[in-house]
Amino acid sequence: MDKKAEIISIGNELLNGNTVNTNASYMARRLHENGMPVTWIQTVRDEAGAIQAALDIALKRSQVILVTGGLGPTHDDITKQVLADYFRSQLVFHEEIFEKIKKRFEKRGLQMPELNRGMALVPHNAEIIPNNLGTAPGLIFKRDSQLIFVMPGVPRELEAMIELTVIPRLRQECPECRVQTDIFRTTGITESAFYEKIAQELSFFPQYEIAFLPKVTGVDLRVVRQSEEVQNHEIFEKFKNVLYNAVGEFIYTTQELELEAILGNMLRGKKLTIAVAESLTGGLIQDKLTAVPGSSEYFLGGVVAYSNASKVKLLGVLQQSLDEHGAVSEQVAREMAAGVREKFTSHIGLSTTGIAGPTGTTIAKPVGLVYIGVAYQSTMLVRKYQFGVDRLMNKQRAAQAGLELVRRMIAGLPYE
């Protein structure tokens, strides 16, 4: 089977800038991880001629084609009809799909609009991809050895179809396409600093495809090993030793998990509880912690003490500390961490205070200045950070830094 894959994204909103095409990047990544890298990506309007032209081009050069968008019930969702015409198929009513659609509406206590009845019409010569998270089924057309997967544009529905149907089918069709992708997720180190620490050693592993993937909360190192290298465990162990010796303290997981999930597992394993006092992060840390299933086992509660008055009233911060040092200070971060730990009787108290921007600055306290406090056992630690000038990024970075500081403390890693 030829390994060339192609994506066709359908939707006017993708071309006029109103919607970012995250689906294409997700699909490309998952195909790449499974040994079938995407060679082309097309984005076309919700027009029959444009869709047909995209299919003409794709079928001349690609063995696997993933089509997304335009499977909904409204007038601009024309993909199913266009593909049925293209592959000379008749639309037939599928009773089982119709019953599933009706039950989805019934579970939500809603009357199913008659318009949704059309969602149960499917091309007679297409395989059906079940949609367990929505109403529009996906489709698979086959032309000789070519596979055309057609899926809705709703990200969570598409992702479920990719994982449960598309990837397993491609593995079945092309077992030799298997590759191994490993991720090393870091935080607290910049991309350039990360690279400098291991640049020289990377030259010893030319057989690996290595990518540095920076984001607001950290840097992912993604390593792709082709099929002939997957079984060479000795070389990969040498690579990991090099990596961990250089930046091991910054690696918090080798899974597709966020820091809050890793920290949650550590807290649960050590039977520790945490409470959070937030100022500039405005509840973001608490949102991250509670996004993890089972977080009630270790997260006791938190306080968003944005004003000075609330810091005094809810956390016991001294008015004298505010007057002498200001709300954005080491002293106030310290008292906030201690106060929230006492308030909730938790093992750990975490606090954030800072200047998110763009206003509220002085020469001594610029935008991005953040103090994070952690009260744990007999240790009271406050760390000073200087982030950037973007308000939302400062909040994200402060939340990540707070979680990382806790991780380091309870893991016995350097945190000074």
pLDDT at 1 over 50: no
| pLDDT tens string 12-56 | 999 999 999 999 999 999 998 888 889 999 999 999 999 999 999
pLDDT in tens, 365-394: 999 999 999 999 999 999 999 999 999 999
Amino acid at position 277, single letter: A
The b-or-e profile of 313-348 (16+ CB within 10 A means b, else e) is ebbebeeebbeebbbbbbbbbbbbbbbbbebbebbb
Closest by Cα among 100, 101, 126 to 115 = 101
Q: What is the DSSP string of 30-57?
A: HHHHTT--EEEEEEE-S-HHHHHHHHHH
Lowest mean pLDDT among 8-12, 37-41, 178-182: 178-182
**pLDDT at position 308:** 97
For residue 323, give both structure tokens: 């007057």
pLDDT level of residue 415 (50, 70, 90 thresholds): confident
Q: Which range, of 23-32, 172-181, 244-253, 399-408, averages the lowest pLDDT?
A: 172-181
Q: Which structural domains are found in the chain, ordered by start?
A: 5-177 (3.40.980.10), 180-253 (3.30.70.2860), 261-411 (3.90.950.20)
Residue with tokens 């620490």: 197
pLDDT above 60 for 156: yes
